[in-house]
Structure 1
């Protein structure tokens, strides 16, 4: 009778089986197409020239959905390079340059933009107003740069124009990495102001019988908990995309184009939605900036619909009376920034499907529901109401409750 212990005997049997059958088992491709995608990476160096100190926030965008002020895109991904790794023991008076590596992994084929900012600890450097690093990416109210932060981007080393990065497969199907993509930060791109935080000093109801609705937006400093925003006034500035020193008039209506841009967009509806989900845009319940595969569609003024969920916005812009504050004493335009005590927004009773922002489709009627108001600064900073400071959701997120930030435009 064998004297081997059972566990040893089974171990010898397993070893014998393995030694007589060495061929690997067949591997079949998964039916989930997401797991069969070719993925690669984008990597390079963060390069900082300046005296601003703080964590470096590097953001990856789809080039078809650029961030403000060029568009309304949201980051696909982000990475944080800690201040200690980037600046080390350098003295505050040193302007560098300072470098540290960054990487975006698991990136699919496509065209991308890389942007970023230094989340400045301006208390440490003595710059006023005194902010502390406050980037929290999970909330709209804490996910953007403030005054004193330093902007950056992946740019062409000669022209300094932001680069569009293309990650494309080779002829053999392999997907090479994009390397050497440096993100440059400099003091010339220091953010001059805080975000355009506002409250709406107007009734919320937009009567269907009215052709327009006027909304008065006023600055709202908030210094509570994780939110540190201190706008003393509202910033306006002429649009001058061609840099000819004169205001642009893109739509040819003989009225100069002005920053900030105003976006009035329909919010998600439904009895089963939570209070937090009701802050989402209609047809974008996961809040990733990409329209959902299924959702509401509304009748067009002309022609049939496209069978896809709509991105409903109302025609809106700044009241032209703001131009009175943008004249110099000699009557010429002041092309620099101008600060005003409030902004009047004119919302028209016209709705569009802006799924294709280059060719918005006029809808037959303004859909009933709730609408959010967003301001977009020339700096790329934004503010929107309603947001996570609304009392119904703030406490659950550990954010301060600010009643005015629950405002919605109501179309009956």
Structure 2
């Protein structure tokens, strides 16, 4: 039982927004120098409407998290951003302080949570974030109901099941019709004067309970084609000149077998489950119900309808599905830091059972299927761009123009459509180039439509430099989960002469 669906939650959120203040134009103020200096300030109110919070030891559990994102660095699935530009945290005690005795804390300080049928509450507080450079921002947020948010660790820096999400959303009427939220864009105009700039009156509403847990996963199986892929402990290597044997709509089984595929199982292996669920890791893999990964359709064009237009760029026959799978290039030898300049990603292909069954979902608008695992195909194509410099454009580098049988990877008449779709999505000109893929190590990411995501490798599987590792299962004083330390590597080509003739584009080089 996952609670309200995402669509239902958005409708509830839309109704709440339609009744909330803050739809008028925001005011702009110039603060005194001692208040902020030559930088920008954004502030406003945050209104929470949802379940009454839990209490423990005389305090409200959790906090409201308000995040400001540079629109050039939006989080997945909209963009390639890895972190917010700024954050404000409003404690539960501050947000819910006006409820007084209605909070009903336990006399002995024990954890007490409201009954599932308890009436919702609506409360408000103020938020503020600074200093911010000139730019355009979206404000998003959530209430961390279980108090497990920690912005410094990827395994704890996103909302989890039961948290209440929202943001500064402007399309309340469209949301009532089922469309995805459209976040307001707030611009701090350049140049910011020496006295600074302030934009106030930004209304943030939190009213969408998240029905799913984060998509925690581990690599359970590697399904490799006959050539171009090798494996070692914790690493799958794909040659930079990898070529598909078959890529044809007329041969879905052969096309699928030509892809490097990873079966990503929900949670962690059974032998790690107890250590993963216990503090200090406290991953959501314990409990009576086994972890799952939930398949759903993706509204690619954001029109509120799930139809034949919502397909992958490669083919109008294959619907775009959640969880999205993305492989992000890591910085040098780091296992935890993504390369930022340029950002390089391989887009995975989420497969529902098999390609033929996946194609059958193109006419479905109600896919909501929790599975024990998700099957992901690795496209031999990489997107390279400098996220904060749209003028430099970007490239989609595809390892070969054709499969080994001479079938085009992208039909000549379809290339312009792919370039246009990617250019629209990322706000810059994207061109297709055929050449060898950027070599290096790539992290694996699964992403839900709510923005909830999971990345491997992560801190649960990687020891910090300051942590001694006396064994493969220990990092200092905490357990290490080897399942959370795996990478995809794009390695040297099988045919160096091909890469000499078709080099990796310069835009992909750090």
* SS at structure 1 position matched to 2:303: coil
What CA distance in whole angstroms lies between the structure 2 residues aligned with 1:391 and 1:172? 44
Q: Match of 2:51?
A: 51
- The one of 263, 266, 289 aligned to 1:216: 263
TM-score (norm 2): 0.59
Instruction: Please state how far the C-alpha of 1:75 moved relative to its aligned partner.
Output: 0.5
What CA distance in whole angstroms lies between the structure 2 residues aligned with 1:327 and 1:348? 21
Provide Cα deviations, 1:44-68, integer angstroms capped at 9, x if missing partner: 1111112142311111110222223
Q: Match of 2:317?
A: 254
Q: Match of 2:497?
A: none
What CA distance in whole angstroms lies between the structure 2 residues aligned with 1:363 and 1:410? 19
Q: Does 1:366 align with 2:437?
A: yes
Q: Does 1:146 align with 2:160?
A: yes
Instruction: Please state how far the C-alpha of 1:155 moved relative to its aligned partner.
Output: 2.1
Q: Match of 1:338?
A: 369
What CA distance in whole angstroms lies between the structure 2 residues aligned with 1:242 and 1:45? 29
* Cα contact 2:138–2:168 (8 A) shared by 1: yes
Q: Match of 2:450?
A: 379
Q: Does 1:312 align with 2:347?
A: no
What CA distance in whole angstroms lies between the structure 2 residues aligned with 1:246 and 1:162? 23
TM-score (norm 1): 0.72
Q: Match of 2:87?
A: 78
Unaligned 5+ runs, structure 2: 1-35, 54-61, 104-113, 176-181, 223-230, 244-258, 269-275, 387-393, 395-421, 424-429, 468-473, 492-510
Matches within 5 A, 1:82-231: 82-88=91-97, 89=100, 90-91=102-103, 93=118, 95-121=120-146, 133-156=147-170, 159=173, 161-168=182-189, 175-186=196-207, 189-201=208-220, 202=222, 203=231, 204-208=235-239, 210-211=242-243, 212-220=259-267, 222-224=276-278, 225-230=280-285
* Cα contact 2:281–2:460 (8 A) shared by 1: no
Q: Match of 1:324?
A: 357
What CA distance in whole angstroms lies between the structure 1 residues aligned with 2:335 and 2:477? 18
Cα RMSD between the aligned structures?
3.0
What CA distance in whole angstroms lies between the structure 1 residues aligned with 2:71 and 2:343? 19
Instruction: Please state how far the C-alpha of 1:173 moved relative to its aligned partner.
Output: 7.3
* SS at structure 2 position matched to 1:177: strand
* Cα contact 2:335–2:457 (8 A) shared by 1: no
Q: 1:389 to 1:107 in 2, by over 3 A?
A: same
Provide Cα deviations, 1:58-94, integer angstroms capped at 9, x if missing partner: 1111022222332232201111111111112233545
Between structure 1 and structure 2, the one with the greater Rg is 1
* SS at structure 2 position matched to 1:84: helix
* Cα contact 2:40–2:132 (8 A) shared by 1: yes
Q: 1:326 to 1:249 in 2, by over 3 A?
A: closer
Q: Does 1:65 align with 2:127?
A: no
What CA distance in whole angstroms lies between the structure 1 residues aligned with 2:152 and 2:89? 14
Provide Cα deviations, 1:304-323, integer angstroms capped at 9, x if missing partner: xxxxxx33223421235177
What CA distance in whole angstroms lies between the structure 1 residues aligned with 2:355 and 2:216? 18
What CA distance in whole angstroms lies between the structure 2 residues aligned with 1:163 and 1:228? 33
What CA distance in whole angstroms lies between the structure 1 residues aligned with 2:46 and 2:477? 32
- The one of 401, 405, 411 aligned to 2:480: 401
What CA distance in whole angstroms lies between the structure 2 residues aligned with 1:171 and 1:143? 30
Instruction: Please state how far the C-alpha of 1:279 moved relative to its aligned partner.
Output: 2.1
What CA distance in whole angstroms lies between the structure 2 residues aligned with 1:371 and 1:335? 32
What CA distance in whole angstroms lies between the structure 2 residues aligned with 1:219 and 1:366? 29
Matches within 5 A, 1:250-289: 251=313, 252-270=315-333, 277-282=334-339, 284=340
* Cα contact 2:164–2:210 (8 A) shared by 1: yes
Instruction: Report which of the two has the higher share of helix.
Output: 2
Q: 1:49 to 1:326 in 2, by over 3 A?
A: farther
* Cα contact 1:352–1:363 (8 A) shared by 2: no
* Cα contact 1:111–1:166 (8 A) shared by 2: yes
Instruction: Please state how far the C-alpha of 1:37 moved relative to its aligned partner.
Output: 7.7
* Cα contact 1:352–1:360 (8 A) shared by 2: no
Q: 1:44 to 1:397 in 2, by over 3 A?
A: farther
Q: 1:392 to 1:142 in 2, by over 3 A?
A: same
Aligned length: 331
Q: 1:385 to 1:327 in 2, by over 3 A?
A: same
